[in-house]
With several copies, the nearest count.
Chain A
């Protein structure tokens, strides 16, 4: 876990927190803002004590930024953070979040088409954080591999229902991992229950 992500007590419970300007009405404690693992895949990975390899001041590409909840916490600990989101409505919220951060760059782009933002996002990134809920999630990870440094990390959450609502999630995840292995070495995987049902968290590095 990056140094700037810590556990603090909120309402008598030890919870994740980062330091930064609050943006979505989250509980705060002084400079610290609660990071709710139930509302964030990356937060859940930290709660699950996965080795994400993320560190303070990392240069990060965040795919599927949605309204910016999680990416605002990433920007709290990371360095330059590129936040890609394609849908109009969440992108508008993401804009507000980006306004509140110095090194958070919003890109209203389709994560399946990295050539549309490779002229903006720098190379040799430390990490890609991925939380896109469209089908072809593994392909998105492969397509964006070009942005990672050779020892960079893919920190991704895969949603079974986005691939196939009828299939057994285990079968879906097997397919996802098989596809990923075309470009990544899988370092760690974990089911995300109880924080998120039928999601698989994966940490991988380019091979």
Chain B
């Protein structure tokens, strides 16, 4: 009878050496009620004694927990991608609708403002054509949604990719993961590819013999590229992309935050900018 009961335990049918199988049982197994598992495990011969039981349990639970956490963090990079794409969509359509609103409002009032700003101005008003006000409120709703998605990304990106989020900022980190497809793909790309992610059109044009090779893709939005003077921007983009690649790799393979990376990047950009000034 004890053997029947023991068969419900995490250790049943698992060779104590097979840590992977034990971890899987811990992750996916179920039982309605607990039992005296240490005793049953020893009785069933799965382990020689209670100390061995707990040692095995420790290894198995640590591995199971680590697998679950890693798997979830991997899945979280997908969520981040959906969030950043949704954020961009909300911003884009809010602006498109705001253009329409601007045209419409302008036909009724020469002094009407324009864009999302104007939508925010007349939302909730009862001095304007009700359909305009209603449209303005939808636009404000979409920009609010984009803002809330940004907050979501800011909260989640450091969990998914702590180093990348620290170096790139959460939103750019999410965009890079989105452009690569997932954190794994980003981690495996050479830093030269990371440098031009988001500039695929220009890159393909260059490869077909049109135009110059692009110096930066979406990383242009980073202050270290954008605010570096044009002559040194290529160097800054290369330096930033290099560190971002390393950050993505650490995030993918270990997940440990490394403050040194950020400090190195700061020093590197400082040198590039100083060089630019002295020339």
Find out whether the CB atom of B62 lies under 8 angstroms from the CB atom of A120.
no
Q: Mark B44-58, 1 if CB is under 8 A from A, else 0.
A: 000000000010011
Find out whether the CB atom of A122 lies under 8 angstroms from the CB atom of B38.
yes
Which segment, of A87-95, A154-162, A190-198, faces chain B? A87-95
Say yes or no for B61: interface residue by CB 8 A criterion. yes
Q: How far is the CB of A88 from chain B (nearest CB, A)?
A: 4
Task: State which of B58, B62, B66 has its C-beta within 8 Å of the C-beta of A103.
Answer: B58
Find out whether the CB atom of B255 lies under 8 angstroms from the CB atom of A92.
yes
Task: State which of A80, A88, A103 has its C-beta within 8 Å of the C-beta of B72.
Answer: A88
Find out whether the CB atom of A146 lies under 8 angstroms from the CB atom of B33.
yes
Which chain B residues numbered 19 to 72 have a C-beta less than 8 Å away from chain A?
25-26, 29-38, 54, 57-58, 61-62, 64-66, 68-69, 72
Say yes or no for B251: interface residue by CB 8 A criterion. no
Find out whether the CB atom of B30 lies under 8 angstroms from the CB atom of A116.
yes
Contact status of A107 and B34, CB under 8 A, knowing A89-B159, A119-B10:
no
Q: Considering only CB atoms, which chain B residue lies closest to A59 in the complex?
A: B38
Which chain A residues numbered 94 to 139 have a C-beta less than 8 Å away from chain B?
94-95, 98-99, 102-108, 115-116, 118-124
Say yes or no for B76: interface residue by CB 8 A criterion. yes
Q: How far is the CB of B17 from chain A (nearest CB, A)?
A: 19
Say yes or no for B198: interface residue by CB 8 A criterion. no
Say yes or no for A62: interface residue by CB 8 A criterion. no
CA distance A123 to B255 in the complex (A): 35
What is the interface residue range for chain B against chain A?
A: 20 to 34
Binding site secondary structure of chain A: mixed
| Contact partners of B68 in chain A: CB under 8 A | 91, 108
Find out whether the CB atom of B10 lies under 8 angstroms from the CB atom of A88.
no
Find out whether the CB atom of B64 lies under 8 angstroms from the CB atom of A122.
no
Binding site secondary structure of chain B: helix
| Contact partners of B26 in chain A: CB under 8 A | 107, 119-120
| Contact partners of B57 in chain A: CB under 8 A | 105, 120
Say yes or no for B217: interface residue by CB 8 A criterion. no
CA distance A119 to B61 in the complex (A): 12
Find out whether the CB atom of A120 lies under 8 angstroms from the CB atom of B33.
no
Q: Considering only CB atoms, which chain B residue lies closest to A79 in the complex?
A: B54
| Contact partners of B32 in chain A: CB under 8 A | 115, 118
Q: How far is the CB of A120 from chain B (nearest CB, A)?
A: 5
Find out whether the CB atom of A120 lies under 8 angstroms from the CB atom of B29.
yes
Find out whether the CB atom of B65 lies under 8 angstroms from the CB atom of A119.
no
| Contact partners of A77 in chain B: CB under 8 A | none
Q: How far is the CB of B5 from chain A (nearest CB, A)?
A: 10
Find out whether the CB atom of B34 lies under 8 angstroms from the CB atom of A123.
yes
CA distance A108 to B26 in the complex (A): 10
Say yes or no for B112: interface residue by CB 8 A criterion. no
| Contact partners of B54 in chain A: CB under 8 A | 80, 102-103
CA distance A118 to B32 in the complex (A): 6
| Contact partners of A99 in chain B: CB under 8 A | 62
| Contact partners of B76 in chain A: CB under 8 A | 88
Find out whether the CB atom of B36 lies under 8 angstroms from the CB atom of A94.
no
Say yes or no for A147: interface residue by CB 8 A criterion. yes
| Contact partners of A98 in chain B: CB under 8 A | 58, 61-62, 65
Q: Mark B61-97, 1 if CB is under 8 A from A, else 0.
A: 1101110110011001000000000000000000000
Find out whether the CB atom of B33 lies under 8 angstroms from the CB atom of A118.
yes
CA distance A129 to B15 in the complex (A): 32
A-B interface, 5 closest residue pairs, ranked by CB to CB distance from nearest: A119-B31, A123-B34, A118-B31, A105-B61, A106-B65
Residues of A within 8 A of B (CB): 80, 88-89, 91-92, 94-95, 98-99, 102-108, 115-116, 118-124, 146-147
A selection of 30 A-B contacts at a CB cut-off of 8 Å is A80-B38, A88-B159, A91-B68, A92-B69, A92-B255, A95-B66, A95-B69, A98-B61, A98-B62, A98-B65, A103-B54, A103-B58, A105-B57, A105-B58, A106-B65, A107-B26, A107-B61, A108-B64, A108-B68, A115-B32, A116-B30, A118-B31, A118-B33, A119-B9, A119-B25, A119-B26, A119-B31, A120-B9, A120-B10, A123-B33
